[in-house]
Amino acid sequence: MKILMFGKTGQVATEVLRRAGEIEVEALDRTAADLTDPDACAALVQRTDADIILNAAAYTAVDKAESDEATALCVNSETPIRMAAAAAARGLPFLHISTDYVFDGSGDAARSEGDATGPLGVYGATKLSGEDGIRAAGGEHVILRTSWVFSSHGANFVKTMLRLGAERDALTIVDDQVGGPTAAGDIADALLTIARSFSAGKGVTGTYHFAGAPWVSWRGFAEAIFAEAGLKTTAAPIPTADYPTPAARPLNSRLSCAKIEADYGIAAPDWRSSLKDVVEELTS
């Protein structure tokens, strides 16, 4: 089996390459695949000899997207839609990563795949637009919504907390946003499992949620990071209202993972175990 993957240096793409095993992965960086050029990306799908297409690239600068909507829309919606249409025309399964930001973050119940969406900002809106277009393309596909991605590489909350925790004795961390931190390695494993299922003729098309468990606030996550790293830094709680950002963040990022476990046998990963591995890699 061969996967054509858009993305090479991002958190999930890096982990896919590390964990692919027997699967051949052709990873395309920005020089090989310009995500602001939908036609060029579709052409890559049209002429590939791969069996499965994986889009592990996105415009993820949530705050910058508020002032750069055109680029975010192209990268997160227009280009993936063209990729999916090209994949559908060739009968190739299309795997795509999406986000909890497609929801409005209200309430405190875990969101299921069929729940009403309502993005709060440009990033979430462009990701939702991409989802809709991928479904409309009509081919075999999996849209994997995830949340709070972390790893030993790239820019993420764990690396930021380790840096700040080594510099300061006390921090204030938002405590009213709750979700499931998800290791990029666990996302990669899930995507590779799904790819193998499609390769075996057992893939199930649909939208799925995949996020770490148990639920935790950003402050709780920070405290777990400090404890795992042996840092004495304290984390005082503040509300989101006291930490304004250009883009609104969903307060409730809980995602129910029951559907992906039922269809693919993939259980929600325990982020605490993955955090231990990531911190060990970063501090060893």
Sequence-separated contacts (24+) of 104-107 with Cβ below 8 Å: 104/250, 105/177, 105/249, 105/250, 105/251, 105/252, 105/253, 106/251, 106/252, 107/252
pLDDT at 284: 84
Q: State the helix-helix crossing angle for 184-199 and 11-19, rounded to 10 degrees.
A: 60
Confidence of residue 184 (pLDDT cuts 50, 70, 90): very high
Q: What CATH number corresponds to the domain at position 185?
A: 3.40.50.720
Instruction: Answer yes or no: is 108 within a domain.
Output: yes
The pLDDT tens digits of the residues spanning 113-150 come to: 999 999 999 999 999 999 999 999 999 999 999 999 99
Res. 254: pLDDT tops 90: yes
The pLDDT tens digits of the residues spanning 210-242 come to: 999 999 999 999 999 999 999 999 999 999 999
List residues with catalytic annotation: 123
Instruction: Answer yes or no: is 90 within a domain.
Output: yes
The pLDDT tens digits of the residues spanning 188-203 come to: 999 999 999 999 999 9
pLDDT at 198: 98
Instruction: Answer yes or no: is 222 within a domain.
Output: no
Mean pLDDT for the chain overall: 97
Confidence of residue 83 (pLDDT cuts 50, 70, 90): very high
Instruction: Answer yes or no: is 149 within a domain.
Output: yes
- Report the distance separating Cα 46 and Cα 49, nearest Å: 9
Q: In Å, how far are 136, 228, 232 from 132, measured between CA atoms?
A: 6, 40, 46
The pTM assigned to this predicted structure is 0.97
Residue in 213, 229, 228, 217 with CA at minimum distance from that of residue 269: 213
Q: Is the distance from CB of 3 to CB of 23 less than 8 angstroms?
A: yes
Instruction: Answer yes or no: is 281 within a domain.
Output: no
Report how many domains make up the chain. 1
Instruction: Answer yes or no: is 172 within a domain.
Output: no
Instruction: Answer yes or no: is 69 within a domain.
Output: yes
- Report the distance separating Cα 159 and Cα 63, nearest Å: 19
Maximum pairwise Cα distance, the chain: 56
Quote the domain boundaries for residue 77. Answer: 2-155+181-214+254-269
pLDDT at 129: 98
pLDDT at 106: 97
Instruction: Answer yes or no: is 232 within a domain.
Output: no
The pLDDT tens digits of the residues spanning 1-20 come to: 999 999 999 999 999 999 99
The arithmetic mean of pLDDT across residues 101-108, rounded, is 97
